[in-house]
Structure 1
């Protein structure tokens, strides 16, 4: 259930990719880079919404806040199917993102309510494995819908899927927040919670590291259609190519869930981060030799190698950020979610907006964000990688 709730976010993003051209043509948006705002508006809404739903779930419980968010998501999805202008669509996508914030922040909060340490990392890896299945199938679903109708039907599909999740949560989700852990829902309490989170050095730095590395993912999502179709001209094979990277990340998440209990979050994630950074650096050097248009098989090979390593970062970095915040899991998850979602959306959009008909801006973005993430991680660990500070992680 938690995996599919988080998957609502990926579905709302990836299912749109095949329809961006049709949306632009229908609503009079000629600039392909501006069409990416359909994704950006959603991501910013989701980031901001998490600042609200985290404290709300700490006060009233996980389930009521989650149901409220799903109602917003369903309503926005229905309305988006009938919007007359591009500006209205962006506004509705922002609202849809606000509603979806509940699914992300509360899913992580529920897991943190029930698990800690390596146990949480294992569960988060399994959730991420299911979560990564969505990029495999979402573009194909979107393309299939476009074969039988217009892009408006994509939003009606999202409304139907989220309505099914609402019924499932209503009937089957127990409340995981203990009465003793409930916090007041007022400005002073929320500000006190922010102080607790931001004064925790490890949590804050891993939140920033998560934001930086997730910017790579958002940069890829916002540029994927242009790279695969405009640069490599693979046309109808775009959903298959996009799905292939999702398969790589799902396998990576499964491998992480099997190994994290033995080796620990720090060893796995930090080794993967170093490997990811080196891979991006080599990939960039090769890209420059080919003037930004290397053979597709070579591009995809580097992508698969890098993204297998990337798959070991998300679940472990999320867990390392949340581990010290179990007593305020809702607020902690909301700050993590807001920063990583809105921050990565804004940073990743820089990659998409700089698309120039080659793969160079994409790979430069990957390499730069990998370097920044590595620096933040080294600072978070006081220069000592691969070691838990006190007890086994």
Structure 2
């Protein structure tokens, strides 16, 4: 049997566990492209003469590019299939990682990061559409939690990987590592991932169809509160990512332990996603995520109180931040799954427009919060409280004032 003939047969054997791991790895490429950079921001700033908070643009530009770029992959994935869109995104990820390593100025690096985020946005959009092609309801929330649990291993280890690379090879080698990992994942996708788009759900690419599909996904009352809510709460997390190197390394003077402290904070999200995968089908995505949102608000109040105490220590900050990140573990997968429920027939378009709104809102908030960094944790704590309260308001709008319900529980 030829390789060409064998490939489709091989791809048909993809099971649920392998699908979960592969979807997580696709999404993890984005996380690796962000979190592995964090220890190197100071050295990049020194090499290019960037001042103050300007170093945060290496992260912020990628976030903004991803948010804008997420608007487009879904409609192409609904027309041409999931695999071709992933192939384009993976090639862009690999080639632009090399381009970033070869940048000769800070402006060129930021421009390449912006283009990379835009071109690779499908790595965040298409996996959700692939999952929605196959399952729905609370089962989708369970699978997304397992995907997120594996995905979150990367933010734990990526700063450590970046720090080790930085010691032995310099910050450019981090981008070469991104290209290498991207190549491995691309090979896995090519050999194993089947096409999940069916002929019945294939959509046309014309202005009226695209506008109707995106409008349907964007203006559905049940979904929109959860999309905006995700953007708000994760915007506060992006604010932490943007300023974490300065906050942990400089304000608290723990630069040598940055990777360990940052990874420890993310562990809560991993544990939360694992627990969510075990309980969400029993209690329902709404009940779990609404409870987590209230706990997030309470922890944000404590975070703000702690931030305003004189001589706040790293050991006062990290446990509260870790708890907040754990609550986001319950919020993220569940909010995304709830928002996707009405859109089986246009899963790609819905995933795309939701991701675009969520990422753009989160990126803008993250850049704004990061720019407000003043050497203390006060701006971050204040933003977390405000964003979580606004999330509660917009979720109440989507649910018509009724929380903790479980529609279509059967």
Aligned counterpart, 1:105: 125
Distance in 1, Cα, partners of 2:392 & 2:399: 11
Runs of at least 5 residues in structure 2 that lack an aligned partner in the other structure: 1-21
Query: Which segment is superposed worse, 300-309 or 271-280?
Result: 300-309
313, 316, 339: which one aligns with 2:334: 316
Deviations 1:218-260 (A, max 9, x none): 0110111111111111121010000001111101100000000
RMSD of aligned C-alpha atoms?
Answer: 1.1
Deviation at 1:345, TM superposition (A): 0.6
Deviations 1:255-296 (A, max 9, x none): 0000001000011000010011011112212322x14x4122
Distance in 1, Cα, partners of 2:306 & 2:55: 30
1:11–1:135 CA contact under 8 A, matched in 2: yes
Q: Mapping of 1:202-281 within 5 angstroms?
A: 202-281=222-301
4+ aligned runs moved over 6 Å, structure 1:
none
Deviation at 1:173, TM superposition (A): 0.4
Are 1:141 and 2:158 an aligned pair?
A: no
Deviations 1:299-336 (A, max 9, x none): 11212222222210000000011111111010100011
Aligned counterpart, 1:362: 380
Distance in 1, Cα, partners of 2:248 & 2:198: 48
Are 1:330 and 2:351 an aligned pair?
A: no
Aligned counterpart, 2:14: none
Deviations 1:342-364 (A, max 9, x none): 11010121111011111111111
Distance in 2, Cα, partners of 1:39 & 1:304: 21
Are 1:296 and 2:317 an aligned pair?
A: no
Are 1:114 and 2:114 an aligned pair?
A: no
1:201–1:380 CA contact under 8 A, matched in 2: yes
Are 1:179 and 2:199 an aligned pair?
A: yes
Deviation at 1:203, TM superposition (A): 1.2
Distance in 2, Cα, partners of 1:70 & 1:117: 29
Aligned counterpart, 1:55: 75
Aligned counterpart, 1:95: 115
Aligned counterpart, 1:29: 50
Are 1:340 and 2:361 an aligned pair?
A: no
Distance in 2, Cα, partners of 1:239 & 1:249: 16
Alignment TM-score, normalising by the size of structure 1: 0.97
Distance in 2, Cα, partners of 1:370 & 1:142: 31
Deviation at 1:5, TM superposition (A): 0.3
1:69–1:98 CA contact under 8 A, matched in 2: no
Deviation at 1:205, TM superposition (A): 1.6
Deviation at 1:117, TM superposition (A): 0.5
Are 1:40 and 2:60 an aligned pair?
A: yes
Alignment TM-score, normalising by the size of structure 2: 0.93
Distance in 1, Cα, partners of 2:46 & 2:85: 37
Deviations 1:81-132 (A, max 9, x none): 1111111111111121123211111111001101100110000000000111
2:65–2:118 CA contact under 8 A, matched in 1: yes
Runs of at least 5 residues in structure 1 that lack an aligned partner in the other structure: none
2:267–2:322 CA contact under 8 A, matched in 1: no
Deviation at 1:186, TM superposition (A): 2.2
1:73–1:98 CA contact under 8 A, matched in 2: no
Aligned counterpart, 1:19: 40
Aligned counterpart, 2:151: 131
Distance in 2, Cα, partners of 1:335 & 1:198: 7
Distance in 2, Cα, partners of 1:194 & 1:131: 27
SS of the residue aligned with 1:185? coil
